[in-house]
Each structure stands twice: as structure tokens, then as C-alpha cells.
Structure 1
Amino acid sequence: MPRRTLLGLSAGAGIALAAGLTGPRILHHGGRGTGELLRSRTPLPEPFQQPLTTPRVLQPIRTTGDTDYYRIVQRESAAEIIPGVRTPIWGYEGTFPGPTIESRKDRTTVVHHRNELPVPTVVHLHGGHTPADSDGYPTDLLTPAAGWDADHAGHGDHAGGMHDDRARIAHGERDYRYPPQQRAATLWYHDHRMDFTGPAVYRGLVGFHLIRDDEEDALDLPSGERELPLMIADRAFDEHGAFAYPSLDPTLRTTPGVQDAYVEGVFGDVILVNGAPWPVHEVAAARYRLRVLNASNARRYDLTLDPPPPGGAGFVQIGSDQGLLDAPRRHDHLPIAPAERYDLIVDFSRYPVGTRVTVRNRLGAGPTALVMQFVVTRREYDPSRIPRKLSDLPRLTREQATTVREFSFHSGPVHGHAGWLIGGKPFSPDHMAATPRLGDVEIWRFAADVHHPVHLHLVGFQVLTRHGRPPGPYDAGHKDTVDLRPAEAVEVITRFHGYRGRYVFHCHNAEHEDMAMMANFEVI
């Protein structure tokens, strides 16, 4: 590692310790992430009692020759997450998770959002190759349909409505337009409001957005009821059954941030999959496609199957954040950081009928070491296959890069309080950390003090090196989020193509992001 990078990482770790963060826990490479456990104060159910549910697929309200139109209302509701208990949520269409949108590569998708919540929102299609005006820039607020008094909300230097002359404000309703220029992939949409992303997502503003195309359709992968989107998220519950979250301002109107004990990140003690605690799902002895998303605010997972199938390698990875790999990869376990996705095949025909297959989290303890369970109940005909070749993925090379940029991710003071910085600076809409030219290839080097899952808007990328060595076994394919481990440096390479405009990149530990670990880039 270059000496200046090593010194910078050491200094970052020192700042973290000076800020009161616990060194041995957050600097442990195999740890569950950077965060503090928030314990539930309501009786919790036994694992593997609740059935797995799949979010409903949203149907378009109308279609034209090349465009599908959808409508989503963001509103308050209640969900029975803990059996017999009603949990207040903020939901897209009033559900948690929100409905799944399915797009095709050759068709434009327009989603009309109406905000009936008591606070502004911003919708970001995570992983979307999206024009700047529909990307969900954090100050491009969609204010409540019932009205919003910005002055009363107390906008200040570090509040959700920080002054931004370029902000695109919409009142009550807004169209987000997603062009059809993207290959098949597992994307997701979530709230991205300045300084309040963490608590808004925690309350339920999250959903899947799947893109399909002809290339993927031709592969005969498992489909229909044998294709399962799995959104993994941890939560804690208060004594009344509501989501417990340590906001400084529970109304999410004025003061951003969390209580000091949770500056590192918020871990819950209940693992939800598609909104159900430790669910169970019956499967045939056949291949299943699992689209796995880590939608937790801060918690990392390392997933494994118990028992493993005969011969091991129970997970066959066919895709990453941005779609299909070139060829399948086989894994015994899968580390996954917040916002990362894996597209997997699990062949349950490798197990005898009657087997209970538990998905475990190797980074958890007690109930957080459990995720969900599959029960192999029957034998059925299986027409699916796993092709040896999945897709053509041309790789960018170091020689193509016009620029190399370096960014450090570390803790530091933000407006007199503990926070998180990129390149030593807190987020400001006016500061541009990079101005790549449209069509140029660039290499970006990220260096971390503690765990930071780094996400770029607009573009996917390829991992070039990890800690000065070749990419790891989980870095394959095109990604949009890369997991930086403590005191680690990662190089990624990407082409800034498609659209000009202002975008952001940030840590996807939502508490870090809300406490200023975000920066701008503008494609010119």
C-alpha cells in the first residue's frame, strides 16, 4: 500500500477512536459492520414460524408504444410484522416493503409519486442509470401534498432542507422517468432525503425494482414461483411494537442525526426478510433463483446454508448489483454489505425431501445469526438450467483511464458534532468533489478507516484492486456498491456515460450518509 494511503488510514482510525468509537469492534475485519445494537422492548416471535411473503408486482396504470406508467402513493399505514402487533410504517402504497416494479430494457418506465407523508421525501432508484433530474438528488424534495412549512421545519446548515440553489422542489406529486438503456438487474428504490435517509428507510420506504431483458429470458433460469426477491433488513421494536430508532428528532422535521451512542450505525436485533421476522418458506426439490438485497441501515451479513448441500458450494452466483456475471461463481458463504445485491441459484434437489435448510448469518449472534428457513417438501419437474456462459462483460482496463482520483472515508467533526467525512469534508451541495467528462473512463480509489459500503449514483463499475491485490471472489461483475473493510483501500474503474448533470456518491451505512458522508460529482 502507498505510504501516504497507509498514513491516511491510520490517521482516520485515530480520529474514529478520538470521536469515542470503539476501536476493537469497528476495526475488526470479519465484523458485522460499524454500528451499535439497539435492543427490542417487545416480546419477539420464535424464528421460522411466519411464512415468507413476496411483495406484489405493481401493474402499470397505462401503457403506450414504448412507455409504462405507474403510480405510487407514499403514506402512513400499519403492518402486522410481530404477530398480533400493529407496527406503524411509512410505505410506498402503504406497505413494507413497497410493491415491486418490473421494467424491460427496451421500454421507458415513468413512476408518478404522490407524497401523503408528513415530511418531504426523495425517491432514488438505486443502481439506476438515470438522468440527473430523476436520480433522487438529496435536496430535490417532494414536499407533502398537505403542505410543508420550510421555515417552521428549521432549515439550517445541517438540516434536511439545507440551502441549495439548484434543488428541484416539487409539491405533492412528481414523475420519475427511467429510460430503457439498462441491462437486466436487481435494483431497488428507497427514500434519499437529505440527512434523513436512515430513519425514513427504517420506517419502510423501500422496494424492489427489477429490470428484465431478452438476454436473461433466453437463459432458462428459474422463474415464476421459483424466483424469490429477498430483502433482508434488521429492525428493533419499542414496547408498543413500533420500529425503534434513535433519532434526535422523531418527527423527522427539524434536527437530523441519531443519539451519540448510535453515531457508528444502527443495528436491530430482529432479522426481517420481505418484512417478516425469520420467515419460513416451503420449496420443491428444484432450483430456485434468489435475488438477495441487504436493505439494512448498517448491518453486514455473511450468509451460509445449514446444512450445506453434499459437496458444498450451495450458492451459485449468477449476478451482482448491475446484472448477470460472465459465468457462474460457486460459494459456500456470501458476505453482503448494506445496499449490495446477489443474484443466486440454490438447487434444493441436492437435499432429501423433508430437509429444513436454514439461512444463517455468520456475523450474527443469537437471533441475529438466523435469517430464514426453507423446507424441502416435494419433488417436481424442473425445466431450469444454469448455463456455463451467462453474458458478455467487456472489462475496462487501466490504460483506458484518463484520470485517477482518491477519496478517503473516515470519521470527523461535522458542524461541531461527531460525523463522517469524504476527503476530509462534510457534504455540501455547493462542493464538487469530481467533474468527470461525459464518456471518459476514470479510476477512483477509496480508502476507509472502518466499514464503509461505498455507492456511486448513475454508473456501475468494476473492482480493479482490493488492498493492492486482485479483486476478491465476491467482487465479480458490474457493481454499484463496494464493501470497504477497516483500513482497506479499493480501486474501481468506470465510464461516465449516458447523462450529464450533478450526482452523488456516499457511504451506504445510512447513519454515516445522514451525518455528511456524501459528496458530489458532476458529469460535464
Structure 2
Amino acid sequence: MSVSRRQFLALGGLGVIGAAGALALPLSTVGASSASRLSDRDMPRPYQTAFSQAPLLQPYQTGIDPADGAPVNSYLVTAMAASAAILPRLRTPILSYNGTFPGPTIKVERGTKAVLRMRNQLPAKHPIDDHLLSISTHLHGSASLPQFDGYASDVSQQGFRKDYKYPNFQAARTLWYHDHAVHNTALNVYAGLAAQYHIHDPQERQLLPQGAFDVAMTVSDAIFAANGTLAYDDREQSGLWGDVMLVNGKPWPVMKVQRRIYRFRILNACISRSLRPMLSTGDAVTIVATDGGLMPKAQSVVSWRHASAERYEVLIDFRKYAVGKRIELRNLSNENNRDFDNTNKIMAFDVVGAPVDTSDPTWNTIPTTLAASEVMSLTQAQSTKTRRWRVKRDDVTNVWRIGETAAAGTWAGVVASGFRNVIANPELGATEIWEFENSSGGWFHPIHTHLVDFQILSRNGRAPFPYEVGPKDVVYVGEGETVRLLMKFGPHRGKYMVHCHNLPHEDHDMMVQFSVGLADGAVDANDPINAAKPTWDDGL
């Protein structure tokens, strides 16, 4: 039975029992200070849970690529139903990678290729709206070939698997892998199909904290039904804003920290909510890396605007705080969010007196000069073309789109064209300026461009914010804002997506594609649907 997403829906019966009927409740019951239906004793309280990180996934096989002699790590991930201990007394059914939320973190060295075998062992249907639980895995931030990029319509059905091949030639950076199934990305990611992926290299290892002091933080928000299941309300397909903030799947956790410098890889995995983090002390933090890796120079900021899917690597110096001091990471929020009683809090840090290893030079070093990446070295003079689009909601159809026409500006238009329609066709190696204007009114749009990193040239004609002056693949386009981006297209030929990372917008239907280095009518050797099809999963 199909249930309207305009209602408040409980994600029930996900576990081993399979899909159950979704619970529909009227929106009018949602209070101003909370959204969940949990009883007082089941509602989590800030700073009652210990911080923990996702498990680290080890390769099940290592080898050498005979084509070029590069090392190759092979990983096995199963998309499956599971349950999570998020609430004080209740278990929450989730969709997961390998049974955890977030899924397991993958770490590789630059130059080591990876093969990620993704198995779809999910229930047949999603319990919210009965859509078939097909999946498409996107390694967000990777310069992957189109057939391994998680193209939305390249899906693996239940019982099938696909081997995704990742080159990992890019400089050190924080990536993440998440579901990208056509028109169902929001529901699938919200239910738990998300995880971090880190590329390391010698420069980053020398400059920044490693090991226990290199901390992955996946931030998300959620709404809960009275029985502890996740609930879903995308407010007329405009976005979902939960009242419970989660870090690595735990509500408002507390982390014990030594009196030294820590590095935090902060991923906003909320499907709609943007963040504006700051420390409760008012002290500045140091941002050293953006989506695409190290910035040219470190930036000291008190707070920053952080949209869905953006990654910021942040140094926090705990040396100045006394043992026993608690520092909160708070959330000031931004325009066009919906906030609740405790969405102004993210997590807390308690300073402990454990001895610090002072032989590690990163314990008390905050670097200033970092790395000059290729994209940050581009100049406007190298651009051969400027392209402009408006991002908005169609006043007649209520469909989100990029550009002026539904045929080219929505994924429905792409599908109707037989996957031929593109909004741009840059040549391989070309440098262009892309401009996005937000005229939607009442919403912000995190725009994500697959394949390439970009440099933010300007925001409303002014310089970008200091924390944005690094290689990016997602740009926050606020209400009434126009951003100009500079990017070089490559290293692959083929078709790639551009979309809003407010995932209900993407699903309805704010996603398009561009092609790189493909002439009209040319045979596409990297066809994203047909070049590497899923196969029946018969085990390893």
C-alpha cells in the first residue's frame, strides 16, 4: 500500500520481520518544540551517551592490479536490515551497511585502488512507501568512472551485488559512501545507508593528527515514533528536520579528550538540515580541509555554515582547558531550518588528565600553510565558458528543478530522453565557470557536482567565506544567493549527475546530468547503466 510522504510516517517493522504497514499520523500533532512521539522516559537527553566511532572495515583481500602494478584492496559491504541502540530503552530498526549506523569506515592510502563489493540483502520493500529496495552506491567525492559512480538509475535489486572500483588517486580527503537510488535516496539514507571513507597521503599524515586523534563525526538528525522506530515527515517534499541530533548514531554524545589538538572530520549527513557549529566557550577552531582535501591555508573561525553532504576537517585545541572542563559543540542553525528544543546542541567534550604523547608533533601544532591543490590553482582566465542556472521549485507542478525547463532540469526529463539530455557538455580537460542562482524562496540548496572538485569564486559578487576557500564538491546556495564556481573537467569521459543534496529535493526532482568529452551520438564506453551491470549475488 502506498502512503503519502506528506504525512508523518513511522518506519516500522524494518528488522528481520520485513516490511510492515507504515503508520500515518496527521501533521497537526507535531509540536513546536519537538517532533518525535516518544514518551518522556524514552526521549534521549543531551550528554548522557558516550561518544563512539564507526567500526573500521578491513579488506577481505589484497592484491596487485596487473594493468599498472598498483595495490588493490577489496572490501565487502552488505546492505541489510538491522537495529540500533539509539534511544534509552528502545531498539530502532534501520537500514544499514554491515549492520551498523553509520556503516563501517574505509581507510585507504592514496594510490591504493579499492574494489567495494556491495551486496543488496535488504528486505524486498521499504516500509514507508513500499518502494522496492534497490540500491545504488555513490562514493561521494571520488573521481570514479561513471559506471562506478552510483548513477541514480544504475540500481542493484534485492539479491544482486555490484563491484564498485575506486581509483583513489586524489589527494587525501574525507569522502563518504551513501545510497543514491533513483527517487528514493532520502528515505534510504535517512534509514541508515551512509558511511565515511578516508584517503590518506604522506603530506596530510605529516601535518594533521592521526589514529585516535583523527576523529570521524557523522552528524544526522531524526524523528522517532512512540515505539522507537524512525519516523519520516518531509513537509510537502521540502525537507526533513528531526528533533534528535545524532553523532555517529548516538544522541548528543560526550567524548573524553586529552589536553592536546584533535582533528575532527565532520560530515553533515542530515538529509535536509544545515548546521552552524561553534564551541560553547566562544573559542575559534581551525579549519584545515574542505570536501576535496587540504585547503591552501588554514582558517580560524568561530562558526561556519555547514550544509548537508559537506565535509569540514576541523582542529580543536584542548590544551587551554583545565581537566574536568566540559566544552559543548553547539549548533546556531541557519535560515530556513526548523529547530526544536535541543537541536542547538551537537555533542560535548570532557577534558581528562590522561598523559599526552608529546613525541607526536601534531599534539601542539596547528599548521598554517597546507596544500596548493590543482583546483585551487585554477584562474578565471583559464575558463573557456560560463554557464548559468537557476535552482527553484516550479510554481505549477511543485517539482524542484535546476534550470528553466523540466525536460533538461529534472531527472524525469533525463529518463524520458533515454538518458541523453544533459545540461552541459564540457570537453575533457576544459575549465569552466558554473553559476547557480537560488530563486526558490524559503529554501537553501546544497548543490553537489559529481566527478570534479571546484573552487568557489564568489557569493553574491563577494569573496566566499574564509572556511570555503578550499577544494569543494558541495556548495551551500542560500536563499537569494548566487554562487560562481570554477572547475576543470576530467579525468574521465562520460555522464555525471548534478543535484541538490537536500535529498527530498533531489528525489522530487532536482537532479540533472552533464557529459564530459562526449560528442553527440558518440558511443559511450562508460555508459553508467550498461558498462558494469550488477550480477546475482552468489556469495564471495
Structure 1 residue 201 corresponds to structure 2 residue 189: yes
Structure 1 residue 83 corresponds to structure 2 residue 88: yes
- Is the 2:142–2:168 Cα contact (8 Å) retained in structure 1? no
Per-residue CA shift, 1:394-432, capped at 9, x if unaligned? 52111101111001100115xx74221111222232321
Q: Structure 2 counterpart of 1:132, which letter?
A: P
Structure 1 residue 387 corresponds to structure 2 residue 356: no
Structure 1 residue 230 corresponds to structure 2 residue 220: no
- Is the 1:286–1:380 Cα contact (8 Å) retained in structure 2? no
Q: CA deviation at 1:497?
A: 1.3
For 2:427, the equivalent position in structure 1 comes to: 437
- Is the 1:353–1:379 Cα contact (8 Å) retained in structure 2? no
Q: CA deviation at 1:37?
A: 9.2
Q: State the SS of the aligned residue for 1:267.
A: coil
Per-residue CA shift, 1:272-318, capped at 9, x if unaligned? 0000001011111111110001000111111011123xxx32x1111
For 2:281, the equivalent position in structure 1 comes to: 307
Per-residue CA shift, 1:481-520, capped at 9, x if unaligned? 0001101100000000110111100110001101011111
**Which of the residues 240, 244, 261 maps onto 1:266?**
240
Per-residue CA shift, 1:35-73, capped at 9, x if unaligned? x99810113121101111100110000101310000001
Percent identity reads: 37
Summarize the alignment of residues 454-473 of structure 1 with structure 2, pairs less than 5 Å apart: 454-473=447-466
- Is the 1:38–1:267 Cα contact (8 Å) retained in structure 2? no
Structure 1 residue 40 corresponds to structure 2 residue 4: no
- Is the 1:37–1:266 Cα contact (8 Å) retained in structure 2? no
Distance 1:448 1:115, change over 3 A: same
Q: State the SS of the aligned residue for 2:50.
A: coil
* Alpha-carbon distance between aligned partners in 2 of 1:38 and 1:352, rounded to the nearest angstrom: 35
Per-residue CA shift, 1:184-217, capped at 9, x if unaligned? 0000010001100001000000000111111212
* Alpha-carbon distance between aligned partners in 1 of 2:236 and 2:346, rounded to the nearest angstrom: 23
Q: Structure 2 counterpart of 1:448, which letter?
A: N
Distance 1:195 1:487, change over 3 A: same
* Alpha-carbon distance between aligned partners in 2 of 1:351 and 1:217, rounded to the nearest angstrom: 26
Q: State the SS of the aligned residue for 1:334.
A: coil
Q: State the SS of the aligned residue for 2:372.
A: coil
* Alpha-carbon distance between aligned partners in 2 of 1:80 and 1:96, rounded to the nearest angstrom: 10
Distance 1:70 1:523, change over 3 A: same
Q: CA deviation at 1:94?
A: 1.4
Q: Structure 1 counterpart of 2:84, which letter?
A: A
**Which of the residues 314, 324, 332 maps onto 2:294?**
324
- Is the 1:263–1:419 Cα contact (8 Å) retained in structure 2? no
Paired positions, count: 443
Of structures 1 and 2, the one scoring higher in RCO (CA 8 A, sep 6+) is 1
- Is the 2:34–2:341 Cα contact (8 Å) retained in structure 1? no
- Is the 2:247–2:347 Cα contact (8 Å) retained in structure 1? yes
Q: CA deviation at 1:365?
A: 4.6
Which runs of 5 or more structure 2 residues have no equivalent in the other structure? 1-31, 65-70, 125-132, 334-338, 518-540
- Is the 1:78–1:89 Cα contact (8 Å) retained in structure 2? yes
* Alpha-carbon distance between aligned partners in 1 of 2:465 and 2:345, rounded to the nearest angstrom: 25
For 1:154, the equivalent position in structure 2 comes to: none
- Is the 1:298–1:510 Cα contact (8 Å) retained in structure 2? yes
Q: Structure 2 counterpart of 1:267, which letter?
A: W
Per-residue CA shift, 1:416-464, capped at 9, x if unaligned? 7422111122223232111111000010000002311100000000001
For 2:342, the equivalent position in structure 1 comes to: 367
* Alpha-carbon distance between aligned partners in 2 of 1:262 and 1:205, rounded to the nearest angstrom: 23
* Alpha-carbon distance between aligned partners in 2 of 1:472 and 1:334, rounded to the nearest angstrom: 9
Q: Which runs of 4+ in 1 moved over 4 A?
A: none
* Alpha-carbon distance between aligned partners in 2 of 1:472 and 1:79, rounded to the nearest angstrom: 37
* Alpha-carbon distance between aligned partners in 2 of 1:493 and 1:126, rounded to the nearest angstrom: 19
Q: CA deviation at 1:388?
A: 2.5
For 1:22, the equivalent position in structure 2 comes to: none
Q: Structure 2 counterpart of 1:185, which letter?
A: R
